[in-house]
Amino acid sequence: MPRTILGSDPEAAGFIITQIAVVRILIDFYRQKLFMELRKSLFVLISSVLLLSCTQLSETRTLALAHGLPTSHPVHQGIVSLQKSLYEKSRGKLQIKIYADGQLGSERETLELLQIGSVDMTKVSSATMSNFVPDYSVLNIPYIFRDKQHVFRTLEGDIGRELLDKGADFWLKGLCFYDAGSRSFYTKSKPIQKPEDLVSLKIRTMNDPTAVKMVRALGGAPTPMSFGELYSALQQGVVDGAENNPPSFVTSRHFEICKYYTLDEHTYTPDILIIGTKTWSRLSVMEKQWLREAAKVSVQAQRKYWAASVAESFRVLKKNGVQVYTPDKTMFVEKSKSVIESFSEPSLKRLIKRIKEN
Ligand code: EAX
């Protein structure tokens, strides 16, 4: 009699049922496994998408900016306002890390680091810059500017723009100028009331041929060296004096050694914010725009810091017993005329003419 396995043989039926159960469990297991696998892949997919977008969101670029001034200096404060403004404009995507006080080297060394792309940005005096981009030397000619308004007008107009752009030919693109006021002599052992008082005095100059020529024309013995070396050079008598604007004289604490300051205001040598073209070319269009806008903001802020710092500098000088002289400038103007006359290169002569007529 035919019989169903189930009906006729309870043992066999039990075996089959067990087998079916096992198969079901196995199917369930594999289903679950498949589901898990799917879940896993989905998880991986979602997290990679999230991760990717987060990376994009948090992708920041930090530019290293090195300069030689102390952090109490108004030009440093201007750079801090650049840093803040850039952070705000880019919502933290483009940032600046500042290395002040010559931590990464002298102005000259820092410019070389920019050229090879090891440092991204710097702020130097246009005097130092003239060693790399010759056109800048005209800004350091004694008495080429009549007053600060003349300086601002020149630097804000075509001449300033052309100079900033010119740097790119030498891997040093200028972004903006900062106010560095006017420079005057300070000395250790005697006041300078007329150019003759400079005779036989060793005067530190910036590493700039025009500054060297000027001190020589006025009768002093020029001794070029970097700003960072100057305090101990004054202290040890390597030089008898130097020349600079009031905030630099004060924040460097050179006034602790030099007690005579003569406001002959021979030059209005400005400071320049520079970015290496190696770095500039790597920035996106947006990043370039943020940086340009932040530079503009910092120029206005820096002028205010500068004015406040000049006023404060004279208070500090007075409190510390520094004698400040206001000499008859015409003697200095006359004696330093040979500097401007020494410029014979036609393009520089044209530039000088344009500045004077500005
Ligand atoms: O660039 O070297 C100097 O005297 C400069 O005034 C200063 O470092 C700013």
Give the distance (Å) from ligand 1 centre to CA of residue 15: 97
Pocket probe for ligand 1: among 73, 76, 122, 125, the residue whose CB has the most ligand atoms within 8 Å is 125
Cα separation values, 231 from 75, 88, 263, Å:
19, 37, 20
pLDDT tens for residues 11-68? 555 555 555 565 566 556 556 665 566 566 655 555 554 554 444 455 899 999 999 9
Is there a domain that residue 276 lies in? yes
Q: Is 267 in the pocket of ligand 1 (CB under 6 A)?
A: no
213, 218, 261, 266 from 336: Cα distances, Å: 9, 6, 19, 9
What pLDDT sits at residue 55?
Answer: 44
Residue 290 lies in a domain: yes
Spatial separation of the C-alpha atoms in residues 284 and 18, rounded to whole Å:
68
Q: What is the pLDDT of residue 27?
A: 58
Q: How many angstroms separate the CA atoms of 198 and 236, rounded? A: 19
Per-residue pLDDT, 19? 59
Compute the distance from residue 150 Cα to the ligand 1 centre, in Å.
21
Helix (H) or strand (E) holding 279: helix 277-280
Residue 227 Cα, ligand 1 centroid: separation in angstroms? 6
Q: Which residues span the domain enclosing 313?
A: 59-179+269-318
**What is the distance in A from the centroid of ligand 1 to the CA of 260?**
19
143 domain residue, yes or no:
yes
pTM to 2 decimals?
0.84
Determine the pLDDT at residue 47.
54
Strands (E), 46-164: 61-67, 94-99, 121-125
Does the residue 97 lie in any domain?
A: yes
Q: What are the pLDDT digits (tens) for 261-297?
A: 999 999 999 999 999 999 999 999 999 999 999 999 9
Q: Atom of ligand 1 at shortest distance to CA of 124?
A: 1
CATH code where residue 295 lies: 3.40.190.170
* Cα distance between residue 295 and residue 160, in whole Å: 14
**Which H or E run includes 263?**
strand 260-267
Mean pLDDT of each 10-residue bin along the chain, 358 residues long? 42 53 60 62 54 58 98 98 98 98 98 98 98 98 97 98 98 98 98 98 98 98 98 98 98 98 98 98 98 98 98 98 98 98 98 97
Instruction: Please count the structural domains in the chain.
Output: 1
Q: For residue 122, is it within any domain?
A: yes
Tell which residue, 133, 354, 255, has the closest CA to residue 125.
133
Closest CA to ligand 1's atom 2: 227
Type of residue numbered 25: I
Angle of helix 74-90 relative to helix 285-319, nearest 10 degrees, comes to: 150
The DSSP code for 253 is: T
Distance 174 CA to ligand 1 centre (A): 17
Domain assignment present for 171: yes
Indicate whether 357 belongs to any domain: no
How far out from the chain centre does Cα 72 lie?
Answer: 15
Q: What angle do CA 151, 294, 129 make, to 5 degrees?
A: 45
* Residue having the nearest C-alpha atom to atom 3 of ligand 1: 227
